[in-house]
């Protein structure tokens, strides 16, 4: 059952988009964004345009979304489309919604002259791993993902090196 379109997210989609974001947090067993976080992401998508949004819609109902932004590869000397979230409501999986959202991101990366597209997948999400690998994506084995959270950002020393003193 196709009957859906993939399009850019609109301000009028804000409430349903946040609902999808909360459903993703539940699916991934993560804490959802706070009320303030929800307001920030809506502002960052629709006002500041820091991040971009595609939605899959059937009529007025959103079925899923893809949230992305651009980074840059210094060695390719080209932008990279980074896919932050790709999520489809459970009752609409296996309808081609995820593929259509992913394909829209691929088309966007090509149109913007990106040298690559990247994303992360939770290690336990076997369905997603199979989905991406069927599309020809390859899992990188020679890179580790590191993260500084807000607390960690505040803990980086100012004005001094971490290197051991020379003797």
Catalytic residues: 132
Q: In 3-state terms, what secondary structure has residue 96?
A: coil
Dist CA 64 CA 6 (whole Å): 9
Is 20:89 a contact under the CB 8 Å cutoff?
yes
Closest CA to 81 of 102, 65, 54, 105: 105
Dist CA 152 CA 113 (whole Å): 34
């Amino acid at each position: 059952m196709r009957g859906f379109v993939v399009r850019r997210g609109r301000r009028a989609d804000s409430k349903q988009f946040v609902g999808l974001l909360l459903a993703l947090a539940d699916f991934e067993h993560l804490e959802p964004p706070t009320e303030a976080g929800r307001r920030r992401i809506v502002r960052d998508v629709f006002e500041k345009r820091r991040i971009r949004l595609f939605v899959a819609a059937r009529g007025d109902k959103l079925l899923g979304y893809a949230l992305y932004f651009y980074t840059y590869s210094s060695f390719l000397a080209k932008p990279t489309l980074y896919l932050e979230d790709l999520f489809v409501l459970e009752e609409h999986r296996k309808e081609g919604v995820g593929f259509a959202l992913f394909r829209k991101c691929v088309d966007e990366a090509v149109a913007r002259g990106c040298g690559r597209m990247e994303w992360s997948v939770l290690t336990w999400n076997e369905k997603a791993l199979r989905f991406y690998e069927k599309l020809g994506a390859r899992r990188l084995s020679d890179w580790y993902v590191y993260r500084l959270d807000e607390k960690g950002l505040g803990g980086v020393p100012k004005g001094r090196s971490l290197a051991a003193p020379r003797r």
